[in-house]
Amino acid sequence: MDSRSVYRRTFAVTAFLVVVFSALSVRVVYVQVVNHDRLSKIAKTERLKREYLPATRGLIFDRHGEPLVQNRHVRDVIADRYHLVDIHVCRKAVAVAEGLSVRQVARELDDNEARRRFIEITDRVLDELLGNEGIRVRDIVAEGAGRDHVVVCRNLEFKEAEKMRLSLLERGIGGFSFEDAMERHYPNPDRLVQVLGYTDADNVGREGIEGALDKQLAGEAGYRNLERTRRSSEVLSGEDDLSLPVDGANVELTINMGLQEIVETALQRAVLQCSPEKIMAVFMDPGSGEVLAMASRPHFDQETRKGIRKIHPVADRYEPGSTFKIVALAAAFDKELITLDSVFFCHNGRYSAPGLFLRDHRAFSYLSSREILSQSSNIGAFFIAKKVEDRSGVGTFDSYIKNFGFGSRTGIELTAEAAGLVTGPDDRAWSRTSLSRIAMGYEVDVTALQMASALSVIANGGNLMKPQIIQKVSSAEGEVIYQLQPKKIRRVISEQAAGMMVNALTAVVADGGTGQNAMVDGFVVAGKTGTAKKLRTPRNKGYYHGRYVVSFMGFLPAENPRLVGIIVVDDPKNASRYGGTVAAPIFSEIATAAMPCMGVKPAALPRRMIKNVRRKVKIPVERY
């Protein structure tokens, strides 16, 4: 071979090597410089883990500081899919289980077989420790699982978690971590459950107070960054990678748990006595709008989540029947169109006009305004509402309905509140019978909370107050974030008109009134009964035959109201199905126990508050 050939070959090899190393150099520059950030992030993702440090969820108390919820510190067992498929982790567990060394396992088993045996061993151990056959490592590591971190077991007691950790360590099983968590516990089962709501598996508030104030209660989780070795050991990265959690705020409700207990017990007894489809109650302070008790049946189990979770008194709409008659009388008194002794001819219980027919539960001839309410005359209520429209203009009655708060949400701090439904003169659904129907509590949907709020207008002298259930919110350090202040929405009727309404409502609960079963010894009670046919769903299907929604709402002491309440019983059975015979006795039972619970003592009663006798004077009779 001549020197020229050697030179050519040497040059070719050299050129080839230059090209190859140049390409490698370009690749190195691309990896180390151009694509450094992306690849670095991928590498960090594989070896770094952020462990979240849970904040302590804020507590909930009643108005007297009684705790309504508790927190339990627990641990969650987390499976790390990345490490469960790490061959070194798999070989170690197989070696311990089969009495071999890791080198022997590596020499005798290929990677796939080692992983298969690891999965079998781990699944068997999990079944032994947790007794949960639904969790399988083979499912976690399966292709397309889509999750790198899977919760194997939640809310494990610390002792049980430590026992499991040591057992896995002893058997050489890696790929699992134990994270601190918080579990919500409710110490008063069957008490205030729908109002409180609950927290889900992730400790996120759902429904009720837990849901409505979840942001305040939850606080902010902290975290720490951990670096993993190839064998799944964890090393804290540094102080800069630690952020401490901020604990949630504490919430104090307006609820009086003493009164709540009384209400819950009475409702449970009523369920056993008359087997209703549903029963609900709301009790308030009429002066401030504070909700003192709220309960309903059926409800749900806060531990299992089984049952009806919605808050019936704020979420369920119903046609109120005769309790709604307070609006017509209050409007007429406010407009000074009638007095307590204005007399109306009620057509002996049967009234007909073109396209309209009304009847009363008894044949009434002449009734005063007071007696129209105390005897719950449908015909009389219609005549009063018609007088308001005739004398003050079409739409006046509708404006009073809306001023009382019907047709709009109260804004209480609870989830899923319904606005109700009011048919107005400008609505397509309005007909020639609508005024008469609405005057006696049909063609209008309300909530129990709206009715209690409307009655509070009369009890407090004519003002609509915003119902509230949050008394105070404080940070974990005790700093007050929010403090309840009574909120007057508007004046609905004059103080004089409210006083006349109180007088008329006391006649309802006097001897001979439809609500006499709501009497409370030592106190004057003002109230109103309601009995309405149960509406089918949807509305255009009419009403059920022989099925009713009955109610009673009232307040006491009538001369200085401290407590307003309403009882609504949906479709009672095994009982006389009237508000005065079903709901009124429940109210009486609750109110009788509530007065001493609230520190209200019987007072000497002025004669004008207990005497309900028609005056013997000549008064013009209203005829229609």
* CATH code assigned at 493: 3.40.710.10
- Whole-number CA gyration radius for the chain: 36
Identify the sign of the CA torsion 602, 603, 604, 610.
negative
* CATH code assigned at 141: 3.90.1310.10
Q: Do 524 and 605 share a structural domain? A: yes
* Per-residue pLDDT, 181: 82
What pLDDT digit, counting tens, does each position of 351-368 carry? 999 989 999 999 999 999
Token look-up 């070896």 returns 47
Q: What is the model's pTM?
A: 0.84
* Per-residue pLDDT, 473: 98
Would 596 be classed as within a structural domain? yes
**Residue 375 in tokens:** 């005897």
Q: Do 286 and 137 share a structural domain? A: no
* Per-residue pLDDT, 41: 62
Would 101 be classed as within a structural domain? yes
Contact assessment for residue 490 and residue 558, using Cβ atoms and an 8 Å cutoff: no
Best CA proximity match to 458, nearest among 375, 368, 528: 528
As to burial, measured by CB atoms within 10 angstroms (0-12 exposed, 13-18 middle, 19+ buried), residue 545 is exposed
CB count within 10 Å of CB 423 equals 21
Q: Do 292 and 176 share a structural domain? A: no
Q: What is the residue-averaged pLDDT of the chain?
A: 89
Residue 611 has pLDDT above 50, yes or no: no
Q: Do 261 and 249 share a structural domain? A: no
Would 530 be classed as within a structural domain? yes
Ramachandran sector of residue 307 (left: φ over 0; alpha: ψ -120 to 50; beta: rest):
left
Residue 330 has pLDDT above 60, yes or no: yes
What pLDDT digit, counting tens, does each position of 66-102 carry? 999 999 888 888 888 778 888 999 999 999 999 999 9
Q: Do 394 and 459 share a structural domain? A: yes
Reported as a pLDDT band with limits 50, 70 and 90, residue 438 is very high
Q: Do 548 and 523 share a structural domain? A: yes
Would 388 be classed as within a structural domain? yes
* Per-residue pLDDT, 544: 93
Q: Do 244 and 328 share a structural domain? A: no
Pairing of strands 526-535, 543-556: antiparallel
Reported as a pLDDT band with limits 50, 70 and 90, residue 218 is very high
**Which spans in 275-377 are helix H?**
312-315, 325-334, 369-374
Q: Do 287 and 183 share a structural domain? A: no
Q: Do 321 and 286 share a structural domain? A: yes
Strands (E) located in 11-80: 48-53, 60-61, 70-80
Look at residues 253, 269, 292 and tell me which one is the last residue of a structural domain.
253
Residues of the chain above pLDDT 70, percent: 89
Q: Do 232 and 329 share a structural domain? A: no
Contact assessment for residue 475 and residue 248, using Cβ atoms and an 8 Å cutoff: no
**Residue 256 in tokens:** 């009086």
Would 134 be classed as within a structural domain? yes
In order, the DSSP letters of 212-254 are HTHHHHH-B-EEEEEEE-TTS-EEE--GGGEE--BPPPEEEES
Q: How many domains does the chain have?
A: 2
* Per-residue pLDDT, 277: 96
Best CA proximity match to 621, nearest among 371, 437, 440, 350: 371
Would 36 be classed as within a structural domain? no
Q: Do 248 and 180 share a structural domain? A: yes
Would 508 be classed as within a structural domain? yes
What pLDDT digit, counting tens, does each position of 269-297 carry? 999 999 999 999 999 999 999 999 999 99
Q: Do 261 and 198 share a structural domain? A: no
Contact assessment for residue 286 and residue 465, using Cβ atoms and an 8 Å cutoff: yes
Contact assessment for residue 599 and residue 319, using Cβ atoms and an 8 Å cutoff: no
Contact assessment for residue 79 and residue 125, using Cβ atoms and an 8 Å cutoff: no
What pLDDT digit, counting tens, does each position of 370-406 carry? 999 999 999 999 999 999 999 999 999 999 999 999 9
Report how far residue 376's alpha carbon sits from residue 360's, in angstroms, rounded to the nearest whole number: 8
Look at residues 253, 270, 288 and tell me which one is the last residue of a structural domain.
253
**Segments forming the whole domain that contains residue 441:** 257-300+311-622
Would 8 be classed as within a structural domain? no
